[in-house]
Structure 1
Amino acid sequence: MVYASALPFHETGLATQEPRAELSEIFRFFRRRWAYILGTALIVALIAALVVLQATPRYSATATVAVQTQKGQLVDVQDVVSNLAPDTATMETQVSILRATRLAEQVVDRLKLDRDPEFNSALRKSGGFVLWNPKSWFGQEKPKVPEGKLSPLKAAERRTAIVSAVAKAFAIEAVPRSYVLSITATSSDPQKATAMANALADLYIQDGIDAKYEATRRASAYLQDRVDELRAQAVQSDRAAELYRSQSGLVGAVDGSTIDTQQLSELNSQLIVARSERAAKEAQLAQLRALSSGGGENGVETSGAILESPLIQRLREQESEVLRKLAELQATYGERHPRIINANAELRDLRSKIQDEVRKVAASAANDVAIARARESTLASSLGSIEGRVSRGGQASVRLRELQREADSNKSVYELFLNRLKETRQQVDVQTADSRIVSSAIVPLNATYPRVTSTIGAAAMAGLVIGILLSLALEKLDNTVRGAEALEGLGGGATLAFVPVVTGGYERPEEVVTARPQAMAAESLRTLRSALALSDVDNPPKLVMLSSSVPAEGKTFVSVGLARVSAQSGARTLLIDADMRHPRVHQALGVENHVGLVQVLSGEVSLEAALQQDDKSGMLVLPAGHGAINPPDLLRSDHMASLLERLRAEFDLVVIDTPPFVPMTDSQIIAKMVDKMVLVVRWGHTPVPVVQNVIKQIYRVGAPLVGSVLSRVDISRQANYGYGDYGYHYSRYGAYYGTKA
C-alpha cells in the first residue's frame, strides 16, 4: 500500500486499493488515539455526571388551550372585536401574548411567587460549594438586602428579575397542524409547576375576555359621543331646513311639494276640464243654432239637448197619447164634435208647451256657453298668477332641497350610529373568550430535569466527538517522524532498522544486547548490521559512522549495540567515541575516559594504550578522552586520516559514534573519511523540518549516507502508524522474541 506509487498497477487495482487504504488509515488513527478519545469521553461524562447529580430536580407540568374557530352568538349583534381566524400568524401571535411579561406579572401576583426563593434570589440561603456556581468556590456570598430597605430603583430591578425568572420557567408552543397551544411550566416543586401552568392558562383566557370587554367599552363610549354629535347635527339641519322653508314661503306638503305647486297642478287640471266643458257646450249650442236655421221645429227637436230634456220627453208622451185619443174620436165623431174640438185644443196646448221648452233649452245652452267661457277665463287668470309665484320660488326650492337632503343624510347617519350603540351596549355584558382550556395541568410524578442517563450518554457522545477533534488536532500538530515512509520520503534513504524502547530492570539500556540476545532491540541491531553488510556485498563497509539530527536521539545506544552484535558474531570490532564535546560511550559501557581519541590524535599516547575491551562482548573501545580544545582541527588532521586507514586494515568493522550532524562540523569532517554513514532519528520526537534540514546538509557535503535508523520506537504504537513498517511485524512477533524489549 505504502509503495503503491512506485509500483506498476492496473487502474481497477488502484480503485480497489484506495478505499482499503483510507479505511486502514482510519483504523490506525483510532488505534493511535484511542486513549485520547476514550479518555476525553470519560472525563466529559464524569463532569456531566457530577453536574447532573448535584443539580436540583425540576418538574414540568403542561396545560393545553385551544383557540376557538367558531363562537356561539348569545345575541344577534355584530362584535366590536371579531372572532379569531386561526392561522399560522394568529397562532404565533397568541404564543407571543402568552409569553408577554404582563401575564407573567399576573402569575407572580396570583401565586405570590415574589415570596418564593426559587424566583426571588434575595430569599435564597447561601449554600455550600456548587460546581457550576463560581461564587461558591471562594466562600460565602454577600448577604442580600431586605425588600423593605431597597430603593425604588433597586426594588423595580428586583421585581423585573423575578418576573423574568418566572417568564423563563414557561415554555409556550403551538401544536403543529392544530389550533392548540401548549403551556409548560417548570419548577423544582411539582405542585408549583402545576399551579403555574393552570394559572397562566386561566389568565390567558381571562385576558382575552378583558381585552374584548375593554375594546367594547371604549367603542361604546366612542359611539355615545358620536351619537350625541350626530343627534345635534340632525336637529340643527332639520331646523335649518324648516326655517328656510318658512322664510321662503315654501310651506311643505306631501312629497316635499309646496302649496303653490299643488294649486298650480289643481288649477291646470280644472282649466283643462273647463275648456273641455266649454267646447262641449259650444258644440251643443252650435248644433241647436244650425238646426234652428235649417227651419222647422222638428229639426231643433232632433238635437241631443232637446231629446235629453225630461220635461220635453213627458210632453211628447202626452202628445202621443192625445193624438191616439184624437184618432179614436175622429173614427167615431165628426170634426165639430166637442170631444174632438177639446182633443185638438189639448193637442195645441201640449205642442205650445213643447215649443216653449225647446226655446228654454236653446236659451239655456247659450247661457251655459257663456258661463263656461267665463269660468275658463277665470281659471286661466288664476293659473297664470300661480305660475308666476312658482317661477319666482324655483331658486328657493333648490336651496330647500339641498337643506332637506343634508337633513336626511344626517338623520340616516345618526340612526346608523344609534343602532350600533344599542348593539354595543348589549355586547358589553355578553363577552365570551376566544379560547378554552382543553386539559388542565396535572401534578408530574417524574422529574424532567436532569435526565441522568440521557445527559451522561449525550455527554459521553460529546466527549467522543471532542476526543476525536482533539486527536485530529494532535495529528495535525504532530510533525515528528513516525514511520519509514515519512523518513524515506525526506530523503533519508532506506530505513535500515527499528530499534524499540528498552524496558526492564537493566542498569544501562545498552546491556540488553548481552543480557537478552533474543530481545527485539538486539534483533533490530542485528538487522542493522545485516543491512550494512548487504549495502555493498562485494566491498562491505568497514568504517561506519552514526550521527543524528539533535542530541538525545539514541545514537550512542545504537552505536554500542551495533558494535556489540558485530563482536558477538566473531568479527573484529572497534567502537570509537568521536563526540569529543559530550562523550557518552564510556558511560554506556562503564569504562574509563581518561585516555582516548583526543590523546591518540594529539600524540600523547599510542593507539594500543588508549584501547579498552568490553568484557561482555569482547569488542575494543576507543573512548573520546578529554581536554580537546578544538575538536574539528583534531578530526581534520592527518593523524585522524592515518588512524582510520590503520583501523580499516586491522578491524572488520569500526563503528564511530559522532556528534549531531548540524550545527557542529565534527560529523561533517568524519563523513568524508568513512565508508558509510547511518542517520539515527528518534521515533515520535524529532521534528520533520529538523530531519529534512539535516538530510539536505548531508547531501550537500557529500556524506556516504546508506540509510536511517528509527530509535526508541514504541513498537505497540508504531504498529498503528503504518502497515508496511518493520515495527508492525516486530509488534506481531514480540512473543517469538520472548520479550518486547
Structure 2
Amino acid sequence: MGRYERTHLEDYWRVVRRRAWLILLTALVALLAATWAASRRPRLYRATLTLQVGDPRGRMGQLGDIDVTPNMLWTDPVESEVQQLTTQAVAQYVADTLQLRARSPDISRDLLLSGVRIDREAPSGDYRIRVGSDGSVFIEPGSGAPAVRGQVGEPIEFTAGSLVVRPQIEPGDYRVHVISQLAAEAVVTGGLAASTRPETNLIDVTYSGPDQRLVPRTLNAVAAALRDLGVRRVRQWARGRTRFIRDQLDESGRQLREALQAVQDYKGRRGLISLTVEESRVMQRVATLQTEIEQLLIEKSLYTSLVDRIGSVGLRPGDVQQFVVLSTEEVNRTVQFYYDQLLELLEERSSQLGPLGKDPSHPVIMALDQRISETQDQLVAAAENAAVALDTRIGALTGRLSNLQAELRQLPAVESELTRLQNEVEIHSDMYKYLLSRYQESQIAEAEISPYVEVLDPASWARPVSGGRRINIIFGGLLGLLLGLGAAFFLEYLDRSLKSTSDVETSLGVPVLGWIPKITGDGQRRISLVAAHDPEGVAAEAYRVLRTNIAFSTARERPLSSLAFTSPGPDEGKSTSVANLAAVLADRGDRTLLVDADLRRGTLHEDFDLLRSPGLSDLLVGELDPREAIRPAVRPALDLLPAGKRPPNPSELLGSQAMAKLLASWREEYRWVLFDTPPVLAVTDASVLAALVDGAVLVVKAGETDRRAGWQAIQQLRRVGARVVGAVLNEIVLQRGADRYYFDYYYSRSSS
C-alpha cells in the first residue's frame, strides 16, 4: 500500500471532532466567565460637551512686532489641548475640585452627600453611613474605629474629612468608599475620550462613569481645568517676560543714577557751571560718536553671543528675549527673516511628529531636519555678516572719534571730563526710557491675557450606555473557542499514539494491510466473530479487505501460508483480528488452522466454547497426537488448536524442534496456519515463533498504541529475522468522511 502523508483540511476537522468535548467545554467556561464579569460591571453613563480652542499666542500680547514668549515652538493648538485632557494636572484639578476620592456604590453621591471634603493625607478606606428616621447620622469606619454621630443637613467631621448628608435622603444604610488620590485621578483619565472635528478648531469630549449625576459635573470640571490651566500657563510665561524686562530696567536705572551722581560730584569738586560754545560743539560731536559706538558694540556683542549659543547649545527663548529687547530695528529685521523661517520649519516638524504622526526616521521628517539645519546656518551667517558690518561701522566711527579727541586735547581737560560725564548720563537716560516703555507694554499685554479654550456646549445630562457587555460576552465566547482549539491541537501534538494509516506507515515503516473499525461485542465474549453474526457488515468487509491484502501483498515474493499475529502490548485486538481473519479465510474455502500460541494467557477456546486443554502445549511436550488436540470444523473449513496447559517455559517450547516439525506438517495439510501470539514487547514468545513462520503481522490499536512502542515492536521482530508483512490498524472509529462513505456505499450495495 502506498503512503498518504499529505495533510488535508479534513485531518484538522477530525482533530476538532475528536477533541470536541474539550473545545466546547473551554468555550462554555469562557462564555460563562465573560457573562459573569459583564454582570459584575456597573452600569455606565456618558456625557458630552464641545470645546472651541483658540491660538494661545493670540492671547499673550506682543513686544513690538515679535512674539517672545518662552514656548514659541508650537504644534497644532487643537491637538495640544486634546493631549492635555489626559494629563495628571487636569486629573488632579478635577479630583480636587469635585472631591472624587469619596464614592458611593449604592446611590449617586450627589443624592447622598454634599459639601464633601476629603483630606489629602487621609488614607483609603470604607465607611458605612446609617441614616435614621429621626435625621440622625452615624458614620462607621470599616477599620473598627468609633462611629461619628451627626444630623442630616449639617457638616459632620470624620476621620477622612467632612461631609453633609442631604436631608432628602431616605433612612437606611449607605456605603462610601474613600479611594486614593491616584485612583481618583485614574477615574478621571480612564473615562475621558476626545475627537476633533475636521477642518475646525472644535473638540468633542466625552466622559463615561457609573454615577449618572456626577458624570456631567466631572466633564464640566475637565473643561474648566483646561481653561484655567491654559490661562495659568500663559500668565506664567507672560510674567517671566515682564520679570526679565524689569530686571534690565532696574540695572539701567542704577547706571543712570550713578552717572548723574558722578556729574554732580565732579562739578562740586571743580566748581563748574558751563562750557564754552566751541567746547560744547566738539564735546557734543564726541558724545554722539561715543553713543553710536557703544550702541554698535552692544549690538555686536548680542549677535556674537547669539552665534556662540546657537553653535554650542542651540537657540533658546531667553537669547531671543535679550536680542529682541536690545537690538536695533534695522538689523533686527535682517535677521528676523531667517529666524521666522526657522520657527515655521520647527512648527511644521512638531506637527508632523505628534502622538500619532510620523517616526523621526521618516523621509519627510529627515527632509525637514535638513531644511532646519540649513536655515539655522543661514541665521548664523546673517548674524555673522551683521557683526562684520558693525565692525566696519565701529572702525569708521572710531577713526572719527580719534580725530575729535585730538581736537579735545587742545581744550581744557576739566571741561572735557565734564562733557564725558554728561554724555554718559544721556546714554543711560535714553536706555532707561526705552526699557521703561517696554516694561509698560509688557504689563499691558499681561493684563490682557484671556482664556483661549471656550465651552460651546456644556454637559448637562448623562445618558446610559451599554458598556460593551454584549461585545464582551461574544468576545469571551470566541476567545474560549480559540483557546479550546489551541488546547485541542496542543493535546493532539502531545498525543504520540497511532491514529491513522499514514501515522503507521510513517512511524513504523511498514505497510498497512488493513484497518478495522471498532466492533461492539455481544457482552459475553471477548472476541466478536463478525463474519458469523454480521457477515454483510462494515467490519466483516474490512476483514475481507485484510484477507485480500495479505494474499496479494507478497505475490511476487515467496507465498505466505503461516502467519504470527502479535501486538506491542496487551488489549490491542490481535486475538479478535486473527480470529476474524481465520473465519473469512475459511469462508472463501481455504482450509485454515487457527492456533492459540499464547501459552500464558490464551483465551481463544473461550470464544469458541471449547476447553483449553488438550492444546498446543500438550503437543509440544509430546503427550498427544495432533489429531487429539486440534478441534476440527469449529466453522466450515476452520480448525482450532487451543493453547493447552500453562507450561513453565513457553518460549522454549515455541522455539523447539517439535514446533518446527508441527509447523512443517501443518503447511502440507492447511492452506493457512494463523498463530495468536502474546505481545511482542511483554515476552519473547512472539519473537521466537515469528522467526519460524512465513511472516508476522503487527496489530496496533488506533488512538492508544504509542508510536515508540510500535517502532520497538517492529525492531524486535526484525532483530530475530522475522519477516514483517505489515500492520493492522484496529478499532478505528468511523466518522463522516471519505472512508466512511466508501464503507457505507459498499455495505448498502451489498444489502440491496
Would you say 1:410 and 2:417 are equivalent positions? Answer: no
Conserved? CA contact 1:494–1:707, under 8 Å: yes
Q: 1:715 to 1:98 in 2, by over 3 A?
A: same
1:589–1:614 contact (8 Å) kept in structure 2: no
| 1:630-641 equivalences in 2 (<5 Å) | 630-641=649-660
Contact 2:578 2:674 in 1 (8 A): yes
Q: What's 1:109 paired with?
A: 96
Report how far residue 636 of structure 1 moved.
1.4
Helix, strand or coil: the match of 2:731?
Answer: strand
Secondary structure of the structure 2 residue equivalent to 1:703: coil
Structure 2 residue 55 is matched with structure 1 residue 69:
yes
User: Does the 8 Å contact 1:67/1:86 carry over to 2?
Assistant: no
Match runs of 1:132-143 below 5 Å: 143=142
SS of the aligned residue for 1:574 comes to strand
Which residue is 2:87 aligned to? 100
Q: Give how far 1:516 is off.
A: 1.3
Task: Return the offset for 1:203.
Answer: 1.5
Classify 1:217/1:600 alpha carbon distance in 2 versus 1 (closer, same or farther; 3 Å): same
Instruction: State how 1:153-552 maps to structure 2 within 5 Å.
Output: 158-171=180-193, 179-217=201-239, 220=242, 227-244=249-266, 247=269, 251-252=273-274, 257-258=279-280, 391=409, 393=411, 395-396=413-414, 399-400=417-418, 402-441=420-459, 443-452=461-470, 454-490=471-507, 492-503=509-520, 506-508=523-525, 509-535=527-553, 541-552=560-571
SS at match of 2:438: helix
Aligned amino acid, residue 407 of structure 1: V
Aligned positions, number: 572
Conservation of the 8 A alpha-carbon contact between 2:128 and 2:142: no
1:623 to 2:649 alignment: no
Deviations along 1:441-469, one digit per CA (max 9) or x if unpaired, are 453434141340x3333334434443443
Counterpart of 1:52?
Answer: 38
Equivalent of 2:125 in 122, 126, 131:
122
Letter matched to residue 472 of structure 2:
T
CA distance in structure 1 between the partners assigned to 2:577 and 2:499 by the alignment: 18
The aligned residue for residue 716 of structure 1 is 735
Contact 2:529–2:576 at 8 Å: present in 1 too? no
User: How many angstroms does 1:514 deviate by?
Assistant: 1.9
Per-residue deviation, residues 113-159 of structure 1 (Å, max 9, x unmatched): 22213699734889xxxxxxxxxxxxxxx9557795579xxx99833
Structure-1 separation of matches of 2:632 and 2:128 = 81
Alpha-carbon contact 1:49-1:456 (below 8 Å) kept: yes
- Whether 2:671 is the aligned partner of 1:652: answer yes
**Residues 461-483 of structure 1: per-residue CA shift (max 9 Å, x gap):** 43444344344434433443333
SS state of the match for residue 184, structure 1? Answer: strand
The worse-fitting range, judged by mean Cα deviation, of 673-682 and 113-122 is 113-122
Deviation at 1:622, TM superposition (A): 2.5
Name whichever structure is richer in helix by fraction: 1
Letter aligned with residue 416 of structure 1? Y
- Structure 1 Cα separation of the partners of residues 750 and 31 of structure 2: 41
Structure 1: distance between partners of 2:407 and 2:513 = 141
For the residue of structure 1 that corresponds to 2:595, the secondary structure is: strand
> Which of the numbers 697, 700, 724 marks the counterpart of 1:681?
700
Tell me how far apart the structure 1 counterparts of residues 436 and 99 of structure 2 sit (CA, whole Å).
46
- Quote the residue 2:313 is aligned against: none
Shift, 1:432, TM fit: 0.8
Structure 2 CA distance for aligned equivalents of residues 261 and 564 of structure 1? 143
Q: State the alpha-carbon separation in 2 of the partners of residues 656 and 77 from structure 1.
A: 112
Deviations 1:527-582 (Å, cap 9, x if unpaired)?
22232233456975332211122322211110121122233444433222212333
2:124 touches 2:178 (CA, 8 Å); kept in 1? no
1:209 to 1:737, Cα distance in 2 relative to 1, 3 A: farther
Alpha-carbon RMSD:
4.3
Aligned amino acid, residue 125 of structure 2: A
The alpha-carbon deviation at position 680 of structure 1 amounts to 1.2
Closer, same or farther in 2 for the Cα pair 1:659/1:395, shift >3 Å?
Answer: farther
| Residues 101, 178 of structure 2: 8 Å contact kept | no
Query: Hey, what's the Cα distance between the residues in 2 that align with 1:112 and 1:190?
Result: 16
Q: In structure 2, do the counterparts of structure 1 residues 537 and 425 end up closer, same or farther at CA, with 3 Å as the change threshold?
A: closer
What corresponds to 2:287 in structure 1? Answer: none
> Residues 25-46 of structure 1: CA distance to partner in whole angstroms, max 9, x if unpaired?
1244234425365665455344
Secondary structure in 2 matching 1:575: strand
Equivalent pair of 1:172/1:182 in contact (CA under 8 Å): yes
Kept in 2: contact 1:492–1:707 (CA 8 A)? no
Q: Which moved more, 1:202-211 or 1:460-469?
A: 460-469
SS at match of 1:681: strand
Moved more, 557-566 or 155-164: 155-164
Q: Secondary structure at the match of 2:49?
A: strand
Supply the AA of the counterpart residue of 1:61: A
SS in 1 for 2:261: helix
Partner of 1:26: 9
2:249–2:435 CA contact under 8 A, matched in 1:
yes
2:547 is the counterpart of 1:559: no
The range that moved more, 205-214 or 394-403, is 394-403
User: Tell me, what secondary structure is at the counterpart of 1:715?
Assistant: coil
Quick check: 1:559–1:655 contact (8 Å CA) kept in 2?
Answer: yes
User: For the Cα contact (< 8 Å) 2:60–2:238, is it kept in 1?
Assistant: no
**How far does the alpha carbon of each residue in 1:684-704 deviate from its partner, in whole angstroms, 9 at most, with x for none?**
322333323333333333322
Shift of 1:513: 3.1
1:727 Cα deviation from its structure 2 partner: 6.0
Query: Tell me, what secondary structure is at the counterpart of 1:673?
Result: coil
1:586-643: CA deviation from partner (whole Å, max 9, x where unpaired): 4544544354323332234444444446857784332323432222211111121122
Distance 1:588 1:93, change over 3 A: farther
Amino acid across the alignment from 2:220? N
What's the secondary structure of 2:180's corresponding residue?
helix
The one-letter code of the counterpart of 1:415 is: K
Q: Which of 718, 729, 741 does residue 742 from structure 2 map onto?
A: 729
- Counterparts of 2:202 and 2:125 in 1: how far apart (Å)? 37
Written as runs of structure 1 = structure 2, the 5 A alignment for 1:138-149 is 143=142
Question: Are the aligned partners of 2:28 and 2:480 in contact in 1 as well (CA < 8 Å)?
Answer: yes
Structure with greater strand percent: 2
Q: C-alpha separation between the residues in 1 aligned to 2:258 and 2:685? A: 125
Cα distance in 1 for partners of 2:99, 2:408 equals: 84
1:711, distance to aligned residue in structure 2 (A): 0.5
1:99 alignment partner AA: T
- Shifted more, 523-532 versus 428-437: the winner is 428-437
Instruction: Measure how far apart 1:501 and its partner are.
Output: 0.6
CA distance in 1, matches of 2:584, 2:232: 101
Structure 2 gap segments, 5+ residues each: 110-122, 130-140, 146-156, 162-176, 285-404
Mapped to 2, the partners of 1:665 and 1:260 lie a distance apart of 135
Q: 1:390 to 1:474 in 2, by over 3 A?
A: closer
Percent identity of paired positions between Structure 1 and Structure 2: 27
Question: In the superposition, relative to structure 1, how do residues 450 and 75 fare at CA in structure 2: closer, same or farther (>3 Å)?
Answer: closer
The CA distance in 1 between the partners of 2:462 and 2:608, in whole Å, is 78
Deviation at 1:54, TM superposition (A): 3.5
Matched letter for residue 597 of structure 1: L
TM-score with structure 1 length normalisation?
Answer: 0.66
Structure 1 pair 121–168 and aligned structure 2 pair: CA distance change class (3 A): farther
Q: What letter is aligned with 2:95?
A: V
